Amino acid sequence: MEVFREIPALRHKLKEIRKKDAAIGFVPTMGALHKGHLSLISQSVEENDFTICSIFVNPVQFNNIEDLKHYPRPHSLDIEMLGNYGCDLVFYPDENVMYPAEPQIVFNFGELENTMEGKYRPGHFSGVGLVVAKLFNITMPDAAYFGKKDLQQFAVIQSLVKELNFDIHLRCCDTIREHDGLAMSSRNVRLSDADRQAAPKLYEVLCLGKEMLQKGVAPSLAQMKMTEFLKKNGNFVLEYIEIVDSENLKTVTDCKNHSTISICVAAWLGNVRLIDNITVF
Ligand code: AMP
């Protein structure tokens, strides 16, 4: 497995790979890899001839400077894991390579900016759109792999690919969880022992909501009960718990009018912000 830090050398290498007609799969990450990231790598390895992983903690998608400062960066361990999982190439640029000058382009993803992550993290999706567009242009993959854990991010990237005519097949992969249900996240290592104990309640509340909706409980009542549950279990500071159409992420008021529904949650435990979601139908 080769590691590239500069764009021209990477482009040269990928040109050679493309000459062999190899299908290229791409997994963009911010590093601090866990089994969730590695499941995307495995999926790409299975479906392509050549797999690229990028590791870049993208400053322009952080709206919280402390979060950026404390983002874990266990680089050698990441590289070792990628090698073990069959990744062929790692793109690990530093900030000057990705942003030699202050970026001027701003993305606006319309209604997706007004809800959930878009609402609570202003500018976040513009930063995500910018880095993903840059990485797509640099790597020009056939397919790109993302996690369902970041459901709204996937919707944003779908819209980016559609509007900018990227010829890239997008794949959305299932959320990988710890044994107790907590969705794997690079931020979990920053939880205190007590908060780590309480954290699985976030998945428990999603399962509870799913059960209620499947039994026919009205979304507004289910939302209220879920909020109450989180208040009683652990020191969660809830940002949102939303019942949405999985495709356009619009709020669901009546389950009958939607073919696919998800429940999405974001909450703080101490100074760690956690998000998760579950598919109901
Ligand atoms: P990140 O490094 O947090 O930017 O994540 C890189 C990719 O891994 C994104 O597409 C995430 O949605 C995905 N991902 C993060 N956590 C998980 C998880 N627990 N299961 C599956 N995919 C995940």
Q: What is the pLDDT of residues 49-81, one digit of tens each?
A: 999 999 999 999 998 999 999 999 999 999 999
Q: Which residues of the chain have pLDDT under 50?
A: none
Please say whether the beta carbons of 31 and 159 come within 8 A. no
pLDDT single digits (tens) 112-159: 999 999 999 999 999 999 999 999 999 999 999 999 999 999 999 999
- Distance from the CA of 29 to the center of ligand 1, in angstroms? 7
Hunting for tokens 């919707």 — which residue is that? 155
Q: State the distance from the centre of ligand 1 to the C-alpha of 150, rounded, in angstroms.
A: 7
Q: Which two tokens stand for residue 109?
A: 């993803």
User: Looking at the chain, how many residues does it have?
Assistant: 281
CA dist 227 and 238 (Å) reads 8
Q: Which domains does the chain have, with CATH numbers?
A: 2-173 (3.40.50.620), 186-279 (3.30.1300.10)
* Ligand 1 pocket check for 273: Cβ under 6 Å: no
What pLDDT shows up at residue 234? 84
What pLDDT is stored for residue 192 in this prediction? 97
Q: Which residue's alpha carbon is at the smallest distance from atom 5 of ligand 1? A: 29
Ligand 1, closest atom to CA 40? Answer: 22
Residue 29 CB less than 6 A away from ligand 1: yes
pLDDT at 164: 98
User: Rounded CA gap, 28 and 265, in Å?
Assistant: 23
